[in-house]
Structure 1
Amino acid sequence: MSRPDTPEATPPGSRWLPLVAVCLGTFMLLVDVTIVNVALPDMAIDLEASFSGLQWVVDVYALALAALLLLVGSISDTVGRRRTYLVGLAVFTVASLACGVAPSEGALIAARAVQGVGAAAMFATTVALLHASYDGRDRGVAFGVWGATAGAAAAAGPIAGGLLTGGLSWRWIFFVNLPLGIATILLARRVVRESRNPQRPRIDWAGGGAFTVAAGALTYALVRVHDEGWTSAATLGILALAAVALGAFVVIERRTPQPLLDLGLLRRPAFTGMVLSAVALSAAAFASLVYSSIWLQTVLGLSPIEAGLVTLPLSGLAFVVAGASGRHLHRLSPRWVVGGGLALIGLGDLVMAGLDAGSSWARLLPGMALIGLGVGLINPLLVSTAMASVPPQQGGMAAGAVNTGRQLGLAVGIAILGSVFSSRIGDELAGPDALAHGVASGGTQRILDAAPSGGRAQLDDAIHAAVASGLGTTLLVAGLVGVLGGALVVALVRRPRAHADEAPAPAREPVAVAD
């Protein structure tokens, strides 16, 4: 008969090893969300990648995380969270190798999708594994370290990507996962105990499938809209598929006794506000970094390392502010902290939006600092506020919904902002579509090398102006998302905690059991 695991069962001197195993996996999967940004121009040259291909290299990873997080979490309740985490680590590590040796754009995108599947299995189980491994004060310490690790991953991504790409090659941003992944698997097998829901809940395969189709179809349509147009049969057909799949997801979740997401939670304004703020956070703060990197490297001529350092005010301040003020922010109203944080992010984007042909990389620094400050204010409160706004038994579901919102916001944000970026460049250059696509995908140097020497300087000036205008418009849209997101949070988040007289809906409680 199974019995609950307790921290006392951990051998003396090794009680923090499960935390190390979980944090290593968390660090790897979150670093890979942003580590590719500064490597995109080199990928474009090496693989002759198109603009939409570059979008998918980043987008498909975030999309797999968003689409599968809730479903994989449900699966892990039944088959075991430790087992799911180990499988996720193995898939992630093997897929990282496939990314590193990818011979073409399509192979890299496919490998990134598989890598995202592994990351979803890891991310969906980390909170439950820590919950099962620690109790009391130790649990609070463990979650604090885990949160700091997540913040450090965001800070390290662009810098690590720049160092590896500039010092070795873009392929090493994936190869570095191999020794880390293998070490984490060996450690987790030794020190992490199994936990699962002893009631073996029914897995909502239909709901998970419908949500995956809806998210994938929506993102695909948004990535392709610049090539196809909003009114083309292809765009409208894919958007219709997304709408039908989303409708099916709603119907399924209303009827199934154990849904991936209890839609009744959306009637709680504080919960809905936190999910929407997670979407807006990723879209406004991080989605535009893909296009900033293209401007910095292929137009201004910065190296990958230098481009990574330009984002240091964002990532560094986000980490420092979250770590220094996190414990104090919980005393304040999340309505104003999260809403104000999103407004700061939006303001940071708007400060950077006024780019022109003569702008330098330093023009981005004040805006990056404002965004980092906003991210640092929001991160400590986002998940905890969502969990506090629902019955205790549904706290895990609330956390999963917020994390899903983060990744979906990044995937959709990259797709929408990419369309804005590419369209604006095309309007400014007023040349063949191939020229605009080549510039948007980081091929400026190749285009200039192929141009007649007499008109090269004029073309260079035109490209400088076009890409600066494209990035400025992209940042303007991102800024509006941040400001509007902040306003929504202020309007919705008035009552962060569930009323005591509300009957909690049944949900899966994380329970640790021995193997």
Structure 2
Amino acid sequence: MNISKKTYLLLISACGSFLAPFMVAGLVVALPSISRDLGMDAVAMGWTANAFFLAAAMLLIPMGRAADIFGVKRIFNWGLRLYFLSALLAGLAQTAAVLMGARFLTGVGAAMVFGTSYALLSLSLPEEERGLALGINMASNFTGFSFGFLAGGLFASYFTWRALFLCTLPIAMLGMVLVRYRLPGECALAGGSRLDIPGAGALSLAVMVMIVGLSGLPGPRGLILMASSILLLLLFVWQERSSTSPLVQVRLFWGNRPFALSNVSVLVFFSSTFAVIFLFSLYLQYIRGFDAPGAGLVLLAFNLAAVPLVIVSGRLSDRYNPRQVSLAGAAVTAAGLTLMAVMGPDSGMPHSMAALFLVLAGGAIFSPPAIKSVLGCLPREMYGLGSSMVEAMRLLGNAVSMAVTTMALAYYIGSQKIDPEKYPLFMQSMGLISVLFLLLCLGSLVLVAASGRRRRTEQTRGQ
């Protein structure tokens, strides 16, 4: 690929990866202002934040498979169009219902973009350049998330929260124009296959019930929904085994063990890391006495500090075995979680900030090679499915991470307000959560190592 086309490809991918996390992070900060303007109650605020994640989780895998069949570029471009439309609707929303609908639509667009962006890069670039491209893609994601916090606070405080959504319109438009005029051709390597609509419906329903169930744990409603989601997943597996054109070839998970182990390692790793930002936000404000803007600036700075590491990790995965780079990332995260586990009220700021940096740095190092490893286990005509599968594992891991955190906080503090009398209990809960996350992180280390051994064994047998 010539340099100019490669530059356009990376810019297109970066546009898609920046927009969703920017709006998600900004919404978290701006939500109190939005709730006052639109008269939201607590339930409406929760659904406004969760509508995006629900739609994205439900549709990621179906959209990835649709990209294999109908074209990766086509589905990616439709995702950018939905970003544009949903941001416009959100910026002009006069009621909570319209804003929630717009955020759900953004989630649909995110399923299209994140379900295809890794495939778009992997199909367009040679093997030795994919890691760097994936690193740049994820750096855009980190940057969007970081600046979203800042933009949400600034717009809500000094202008209007609507600008948070409206300012993304030129970026979405730029991406659409570049796709149309600077990215010729199409990648539909599974063209002629049929999209498994019943399977897509069954999987989407199972994921929806699981996500809602995780948010309800450890209560009886959450347990019932989690059990129901498992039954629905079993129904999905049975349906796929009898389908002539399955959404997911179930045999991949026992016939292609490196693929299965690599995906599970992503799920387990992100289960151990996602809620760390949430915990440190509370820690900085309750224990260290930061105000909300001050805590936000600290988190912004540490997220931005991790951005170069994502790019470096991607480049390293082009030069060395990607699984070895992922192992290094998981080991760095484990070191950070170990520091978190021994933190106390009297621990100094250098101790706590070192823990935060190591966790974020480890995640930055782990991600690009982990994605490259998953896609490297599949034929090219399944890159769309692989791209969406690894992103679904990451999203589900995020939900598990928050569920673990919520259950630990509920066990120690219950439904009471976190006031100074509860600070010791908060620190105890943070210690327990850190230990649980450390165990999960060590589990991801084992899974990454096992996936590498299994792949070498299969390659040896094939020679």
TM-score range, shorter chain: 0.7 to 0.9
Aligned equivalent of 2:352: 364
Aligned equivalent of 2:224: 237
Match of 1:126 among 112, 117, 134: 117
Q: Does 1:489 align with 2:452?
A: no
Residues 341 and 147 of structure 1, relative CA distance in 2, 3 Å threshold: closer
**What does the per-residue CA deviation read over 1:371-409, in whole Å, with 9 as the maximum and x for residues that have no partner?**
133223312311222233345554543333222211121
**What does the per-residue CA deviation read over 1:228-262, in whole Å, with 9 as the maximum and x for residues that have no partner?**
x2xx3x33432232022100111122222332322
Q: Distance in 2 between matches of 1:305 and 1:317?
A: 18
Aligned equivalent of 1:223: 215
User: Are 2:86 and 2:106, in contact at CA under 8 Å, matched by a contact in 1?
Assistant: yes
Q: Distance in 2 between matches of 1:502 and 1:65?
A: 38
Match of 1:407 among 369, 380, 395: 395
Q: Distance in 2 between matches of 1:39 and 1:297?
A: 18
Larger displacement relative to structure 2 (40-49 or 464-473) = 40-49
Q: Distance in 1 between matches of 2:34 and 2:352?
A: 24
Q: Does 1:154 align with 2:142?
A: yes
**What does the per-residue CA deviation read over 1:425-444, in whole Å, with 9 as the maximum and x for residues that have no partner?**
22xxxxxx4x44xx5xxxxx
Q: Does 1:24 align with 2:15?
A: yes
**What does the per-residue CA deviation read over 1:468-505, in whole Å, with 9 as the maximum and x for residues that have no partner?**
444444333323321222233334431336538769xx
Aligned equivalent of 1:457: none
Query: Which one-letter code corresponds to 1:177 in the other structure?
Result: T
Query: Which one-letter code corresponds to 1:401 in the other structure?
Result: M
Q: Distance in 1 between matches of 2:26 and 2:422?
A: 26
**Per residue, is there more helix in 1 or in 2?**
2
Q: Distance in 2 between matches of 1:363 and 1:105?
A: 42
User: Are 2:326 and 2:448, in contact at CA under 8 Å, matched by a contact in 1?
Assistant: yes
The 5 A counterparts of 1:386-405 are: 386-391=374-379, 393-405=381-393
Consecutive unaligned residues in structure 2, runs of 5 or more: none
The 5 A counterparts of 1:111-260 are: 111-130=102-121, 134=124, 144-166=132-154, 168-169=156-157, 172-193=163-184, 195=186, 196-197=188-189, 199-226=191-218, 229=219, 232=220, 234-260=221-247
Aligned equivalent of 1:74: 65
User: Are 2:135 and 2:310, in contact at CA under 8 Å, matched by a contact in 1?
Assistant: no
Q: Distance in 2 between matches of 1:237 and 1:340?
A: 38
Query: Which one-letter code corresponds to 1:82 in the other structure?
Result: K
Aligned equivalent of 1:512: none
User: Are 1:165 and 1:171, in contact at CA under 8 Å, matched by a contact in 2?
Assistant: no
User: Are 2:131 and 2:368, in contact at CA under 8 Å, matched by a contact in 1?
Assistant: no
TM-score of the two chains, using structure 2 as the length reference: 0.83
User: Are 2:214 and 2:399, in contact at CA under 8 Å, matched by a contact in 1?
Assistant: no
SS for the counterpart of 2:214 is helix
Aligned residue-pair number:
456
User: Are 1:314 and 1:371, in contact at CA under 8 Å, matched by a contact in 2?
Assistant: no
Q: Distance in 2 between matches of 1:305 and 1:348?
A: 24
Residues 471 and 105 of structure 1, relative CA distance in 2, 3 Å threshold: farther
Q: Distance in 2 between matches of 1:239 and 1:198?
A: 34
TM-score of the two chains, using structure 1 as the length reference: 0.75
Aligned equivalent of 1:508: none
Residues 36 and 287 of structure 1, relative CA distance in 2, 3 Å threshold: farther
Aligned equivalent of 1:264: 251
Query: Which one-letter code corresponds to 1:270 in the other structure?
Result: P
Match of 1:90 among 81, 103, 110: 81
User: Are 2:135 and 2:312, in contact at CA under 8 Å, matched by a contact in 1?
Assistant: no
Give the deviation of 1:66 after TM superposition.
3.1
Consecutive unaligned residues in structure 1, runs of 5 or more: 1-6, 427-432, 440-459, 504-515
User: Are 2:132 and 2:312, in contact at CA under 8 Å, matched by a contact in 1?
Assistant: no
Residues 422 and 177 of structure 1, relative CA distance in 2, 3 Å threshold: farther
User: Are 2:404 and 2:433, in contact at CA under 8 Å, matched by a contact in 1?
Assistant: no
User: Are 1:346 and 1:483, in contact at CA under 8 Å, matched by a contact in 2?
Assistant: yes
User: Are 1:335 and 1:494, in contact at CA under 8 Å, matched by a contact in 2?
Assistant: no
Give the deviation of 1:217 after TM superposition.
0.8
Q: Distance in 1 between matches of 2:379 and 2:5?
A: 34
User: Are 1:284 and 1:345, in contact at CA under 8 Å, matched by a contact in 2?
Assistant: no
The 5 A counterparts of 1:315-330 are: 315-329=303-317
Query: Which one-letter code corresponds to 1:311 in the other structure?
Result: L
Residues 61 and 84 of structure 1, relative CA distance in 2, 3 Å threshold: same
Q: Distance in 1 between matches of 2:215 and 2:45?
A: 10
Larger Rg over CA atoms: 1
CA RMSD, aligned part only?
A: 3.7
